[in-house]
Amino acid sequence: MNPYRDINDEEWQRVAPLLPELRPRSELRGRPLANTRSVLNGVLWVMYSGATWSAMPRKYPSYQTCHRRFKAWYESGVLKRVMDQLFGAASEELCNLMEARMRTHVSAEQKGVEAEKVPAAVPPVYSPAAAKPLPSSPFAYASPFKHAA
């Protein structure tokens, strides 16, 4: 593959209709939405470079924003269509690499099934008889600074 570069105007015109329109906030509080094209460039940089999200260059929006949109686009299938439009046959390789790097999260239902299979370890119960006795004095230890008498 060629070295990564940000998408140009012609490529942006092809993929912009594929990306969901983000509605501006109804309230005028908070941070304004990040530019979708810059977010896409940040997402593509991470996918192409194989670097971690937190290693993204500062020219892109925050890595948290890029990662949040990446997850939304990935789960909805938008990212696959964008990649096909931009990279053609090479898009499958990039998507496979990204899928291999993604953490797999276990849903609540799967956690319930797994919990039934493997019994949870029971935490030990405190028993005063099993506890080690405390020294008679908190200062009952041999100090290297004590003078021999």
* pLDDT tens figures, 83-105: 888 888 777 777 777 777 776 55
Q: Is residue 48 part of a domain?
A: yes
Give the model's pLDDT for residue 42: 93
Residue 16: closest CA among 103, 99, 85, 66: 85
Q: What integer is the mean pLDDT of 123-149? A: 53
Per-residue pLDDT of 45-81, as tens digits, reads 988 888 888 999 999 999 999 999 998 988 888 888 8
Distance CA 148, CA 23 (A): 79
Residue 41: closest CA among 21, 16, 22, 66: 66
Q: Is residue 25 part of a domain?
A: no
Give the model's pLDDT for residue 52: 87
* Residue whose structure tokens are 């092809």: 14
Q: Is residue 23 part of a domain?
A: no
Q: Is residue 73 part of a domain?
A: yes
Domain count, the chain: 1
Q: What integer is the mean pLDDT of 12-24? A: 83
The region of weakest confidence among 36-40, 98-102, 139-143 is: 139-143
Q: Is residue 44 part of a domain?
A: yes
Q: Is residue 140 part of a domain?
A: no
Expressed as residue numbers, the domain containing 62 is 37-101
Q: How many CA atoms lie within 13 A of 72 on its CB side?
A: 13
Give the CA dihedral 56, 58, 59, 63, nearest 10 degrees: 50
Give the CA dihedral 62, 66, 72, 75, nearest 10 degrees: -140
Percent of the chain with pLDDT over 70: 62
Q: Is residue 88 part of a domain?
A: yes
Q: How many CA atoms lie within 13 A of 110 on its CB side?
A: 4
Q: What integer is the mean pLDDT of 129-142? A: 53
Residue 44 has pLDDT above 60, yes or no: yes
Q: Is the Cβ–Cβ distance between 87 and 94 less than 8 Å?
A: yes
Q: Is residue 66 part of a domain?
A: yes
